[in-house]
Amino acid sequence: MSEGYESDAFGDRSDREGPDETAPGQERTFAALPPAKGRRFAESWWGLAWLKALEDTALDGQQLKKGRRFAREGRVGAVSVRPGRITAVVRDREESGYRSDVLLQELTEGEWDRFLDVAVERAGHIAALLDREMPPHLVEDAAAAGVDLLPGIGDLDPECGCEAWDHCPHTAALCYQVARLLDQDPFVLLLMRGRGERRLLDELQVRIAARAAGRAPSDTADEPAGETGDRAVRGIPAAEAYAAAGILPPLPPVPALPDGPGPAPSLDTETGPGPGLDPAALEMLAADSAARAHLMLAQALSPGHGQQPVPAGLTPGQDAVRLAAEARPEPWIANRLAAGSGRRPAGLPAAVRAWQYGGAAALAVLDEEWTPDAAAMARARTRLAGAWEEDEAPRLRSERNRWTSADGTAQLRYGRDGRWYPYRKENGRWAPAGPCDEDPAAAWADAAVPADV
């Protein structure tokens, strides 16, 4: 027999089950509880249901009153709980000690099977049990399946050394004291019904794994782990998996980040492509997807990634420019990307350069002309004026969010992100000239550099 002694009545339970708990004689022993003066014996609904079964069963109310007094005075010794029986030595007012037992019918194997099936049916059932709660729906669902967890009238059968044939003060005191234990840990009741906590959680784990694989628990007996034969494998609801986290094995460690994305598959085969399919474009998309997946994995593994804001998604036009900037496609693919971004082929290089300098925000500055807040423009003029001597300051004409040099070769553009973007005139077109800056004077240094420098 394995005895798991509690460190105190309701404290640390690290040693509550011995290594042989699954043996037929599994047992938990709770130290004697302190007197219960001025408090109810049960607060939880299942603890109160236990006491109701006692009070409805006992024929002599006076014996129950004496039992309550014995329990309140701390006359119940250490309580042993095992399948079908609870036991304690109870002292009376004369200090005579009597071994008292209360018997409760164990569930059959078939009843346990039905109970376990019911328990894994709802994610909240397992979560509540792990939180030391007895969810009402679990009891109701079990009853609907023909399994009565809580005792009813006549289910608490007394045996006492005082040789009373009904509930005596000693067995009554034992039941009142056990109600306090049940209040804190409903697994005490499940042990009385025949299953200790560890064995019960192990059996629940088997059922959860079987449900995730889309098969009955009995189907796992003759198959190697991980093999499901021809059975369909289905998923498991996230709420159910989360609720079962306390009894499932830990996840394996996160694998190391690969050195780089894997090579793209070659689509150069003897079979010709289908109508409208371009193998070279598909190979480029596959390589780009692998590179992005590697980058996203590296970001996910970096410290503090969970606190970073989720980046905004790209429009098809923005993504076409991104592909042209990052994948460096062949010219005929670049022409298709230009069309996908809503541009002519001649306008794609400027869009690619903008993306390389600042991503989607810089691309928006290339395409948008808008009217900024007057106060922001006034602050920018002040900063520009303070950056040069009076006779050295650049002469700029402003139009909405664009400030252009007097000779028409350099330009500053103000973005909606509050930054300034330098531009230069190249072959008759405005093109991004460098990264953005919050200081317009710093951004102007890039815009004013001649194109051939």
27 pLDDT higher than 80: yes
Q: What is the pLDDT of residue 246?
A: 61
CA 319 – CA 156 distance, rounded (Å) = 72
pLDDT digit string, tens, across residues 295-339: 888 888 888 877 878 778 888 989 899 888 888 888 888 888 888
Q: How confident is the model at residue 1 (pLDDT cuts 50, 70, 90)?
A: very low
Closest Cα partner for 173 from 357, 294, 35, 273? 35
Q: What is the pLDDT of residue 231?
A: 43
Q: How confident is the model at residue 452 (pLDDT cuts 50, 70, 90)?
A: very low
261 CA to centre of own chain: 28
Q: What is the pLDDT of residue 293?
A: 85
What does the angle CA 10 – CA 16 – CA 22 come to, to the nearest 5 degrees?
145
Q: Please tell me the number of Cα atoms within 13 Å of 232 on its side-chain side.
A: 3
Please say whether the beta carbons of 440 and 412 come within 8 A: yes
> How many CB atoms are closer than 10 A to CB 56?
13
227 pLDDT higher than 50: no
Q: What is the pLDDT of residue 371?
A: 92
Radius of gyration of the chain (CA): 38
Closest Cα partner for 367 from 344, 349, 351? 351
Is 0.85 topped by the overall pTM? no
Among 119-133, 203-217, 338-352, name the one with the lowest average pLDDT: 203-217
CA 208 – CA 197 distance, rounded (Å) = 16
38 pLDDT higher than 50: yes
Q: How confident is the model at residue 414 (pLDDT cuts 50, 70, 90)?
A: very high
CA 279 – CA 286 distance, rounded (Å) = 10
What is the 8-class DSSP label of residue 162? T
pLDDT digit string, tens, across residues 81-132: 999 999 999 998 888 889 999 999 999 999 999 999 888 887 778 878 888 8
